[in-house]
Amino acid sequence: MRARTFAIAGAMTSALTLLASGFAAADPAAEMPGDGLYLVGVDIQPGYYEASGADDPGIACFWRRLWKVQTESDYNDPNFYITASDFTRTRPIRVEIKAKDAAFSSENCGSWRMVPAPPPTGSFG
């Protein structure tokens, strides 16, 4: 699996090319090898993920859940497309990537792996 660095239109074209060529697309993964942009339902499965963070405690992890992958013709503020994000040095790093998210991106977080959902707390919110 490779992190996506191109616009969503390119991803759709790639998927159509794969289907037309007779090759089946791989199932979405439950792991992310490191920094990058991953399309939910294409590259990765929705669910709970955990990363170890950077080896250097002075380097923070920055992750983002996106409701849309920004293209050149979209609104110019990249923060507009963020559903949730965190800039943290707390380790391990945990995030729930939801099925309605378009993509997930991370920088300096290390590799991510899917983990079981945490137990319910019994409180709302």
Divide the 125 residues of the chain into consecutive groups of 10 and give the mean pLDDT of each group: 48 42 73 96 97 90 95 86 95 96 97 94 73
Its pTM stands at: 0.75
Q: What sign for the dihedral angle of Cα 113, 4, 102, 41? A: negative
pLDDT digits (tens, 9 = 90+) for 15-35: 443 444 455 568 999 999 999
Distance of alpha carbon 10 from its chain centroid, rounded? 17
Decide: residue 32, CB within 10 A, 0-12 exposed, 13-18 middle, 19+ buried.
buried
